[in-house]
């Protein structure tokens, strides 16, 4: 299927890195309102540039428009693409307002189109491994989940020097304005809702904890740089999700069940280490030795291995993935959408499911203005 990219900023290079994994996707071209950025991107990747957005949307060969614009532009671009009869794959969130996001999902349904959303890490090998372990009842009934999307104190790093492969600057100031929750919580929410179903209510807190993020940030109206939410799932599972830009980097997920636990080291890693600890099972040798050492010392050691035994993946890894900081097949979400369209079915992480994830992210980010607990309006 032919696709076209709108928005050639920093994240677009992640998609180009992984596009080669999916030869069934043919990139017809790209467009960006920044002519210089568009030229640099197209020259680096050997991609055709559209003369304008109307030209892109008017290309009859394009089946899916990939919306990689800034979050506040998502609604307008997706609306225009759906109006032009194109399927849409959008970066997160679907829109900056829940009513607008709901409107887009309804428009896609009315037009007989699919409207899918990133992130694609919910299609990862690690997700499949965990989902299979849960289906196999290896930890019994899941009860409690801890998830983290802590990106570390990036504002103290040399982020102004960060560049993508084709030379796009990392939009640090804009990320501080949008907030870590809208930018990153989706990576955990995608896992959570696909594993445990719809969320019934959220009790959340969000705050701007570090208002001074260095030169250039003095006049910014910054979004919360920390949020935490307790999610009550209709299935009975309870989850805690934290997102932040100050605490040490942590993108882990832990699932605790009646019969044990599953620990995923990094939700940004397609084949993250996944550990299974079962109640009553012998502890690994290293864990036992360190436990004995702690008893002799009379104090806790600063480091201990992840509880349980590491699960093996059923097959070798294939395809190219970004080297750092994420090992995500970004184009995999588009490929899954194209496959679903060809088969005449709803893609994963599209429609009502994508809307549910967006509503959750907006509820976490805007916790200070919402009555708590927040009752979810969407479901899937």
Give the tokens for residue 46. 């050997």
Does the pLDDT of residue 92 top 80, yes or no? yes
Task: Count the neighbouring beta carbons within 10 Å of the beta carbon of residue 58.
Answer: 11
Confidence of residue 320 (pLDDT cuts 50, 70, 90): confident
Q: What is the mean pLDDT of residues 273-287?
A: 92
State the chain's maximal CA–CA distance in angstroms: 73
Confidence of residue 284 (pLDDT cuts 50, 70, 90): confident
pLDDT digits (tens, 9 = 90+) for 170-199: 999 999 999 999 999 999 999 999 999 999
Phi, psi of 339 (to 5 degrees): -65, -40
pLDDT at 288: 85
Does residue 181 sit in helix, strand or coil? Answer: helix
- Radius of gyration over alpha carbons of the chain, in Å? 21
Run of H or E residues at 374: strand 374-375
Q: What is the mean pLDDT of residues 118-144?
A: 98
pLDDT at 49: 98
Length of the chain measured in residues: 380
**Interaxial angle between packed helices 351-365 and 180-196, expressed in degrees from 0 to 180 and rounded to the nearest 10:** 130
Rounded alpha-carbon distances, angstroms, from residue 211 to 136, 181, 222, 226, 370: 46, 16, 7, 11, 22
Structural domains of the chain, ranges and CATH numbers in brackets: 2-121+332-343 (3.40.50.720), 122-327+350-375 (3.30.360.10)
């Amino acid at each position: 299927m032919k696709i076209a990219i709108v928005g050639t900023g920093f994240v677009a290079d992640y998609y180009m890195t992984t596009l080669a994994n999916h030869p069934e996707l043919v990139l017809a071209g790209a467009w960006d309102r920044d002519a210089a950025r568009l030229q640099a991107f197209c020259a680096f990747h050997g991609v055709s540039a559209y003369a304008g957005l109307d030209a892109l949307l008017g290309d009859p060969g394009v089946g899916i428009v990939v919306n990689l614009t800034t979050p506040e532009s998502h609604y307008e671009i997706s609306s225009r693409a759906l109006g032009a009869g194109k399927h849409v794959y959008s970066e997160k969130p679907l829109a900056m307002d829940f009513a607008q996001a709901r409107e887009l999902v309804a428009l896609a349904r009315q037009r007989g189109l699919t409207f899918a959303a990133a992130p694609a890490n919910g299609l990862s090998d690690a997700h499949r491994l965990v989902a299979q372990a849960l289906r196999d009842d290896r930890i019994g009934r899941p009860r409690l989940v801890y998830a983290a999307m802590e990106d570390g104190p990036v504002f103290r790093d040399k982020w102004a020097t960060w560049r993508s492969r084709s030379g796009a600057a990392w939009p640090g100031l804009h990320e501080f304005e949008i907030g870590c929750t809208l930018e990153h919580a989706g990576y955990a929410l995608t896992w959570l809702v696909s594993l445990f179903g719809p969320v019934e209510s959220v009790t959340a807190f969000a705050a701007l904890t570090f208002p001074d993020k260095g030169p250039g940030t003095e006049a910014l109206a910054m979004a919360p740089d920390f949020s935490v939410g307790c999610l009550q799932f209709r299935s009975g599972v309870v989850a805690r999700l934290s997102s932040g830009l100050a605490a040490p980097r942590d993108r882990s997920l832990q699932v605790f069940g009646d019969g044990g636990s599953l620990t995923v080291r990094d939700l940004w890693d397609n084949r993250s280490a996944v550990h299974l600890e079962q109640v009553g099972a012998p502890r690994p040798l290293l864990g036992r030795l360190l436990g004995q050492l702690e008893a002799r010392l009379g104090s806790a050691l600063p480091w201990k291995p992840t509880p349980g035994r590491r699960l093996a993946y059923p097959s070798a890894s294939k395809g190219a993935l970004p080297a750092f900081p994420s090992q995500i097949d970004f184009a995999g979400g588009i490929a899954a959408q194209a496959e679903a369209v060809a088969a005449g079915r709803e893609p994963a992480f599209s429609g009502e499911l994508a809307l549910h994830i967006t509503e959750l992210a907006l509820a976490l980010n805007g916790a200070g203005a919402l009555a708590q607990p927040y009752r979810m309006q969407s479901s899937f």
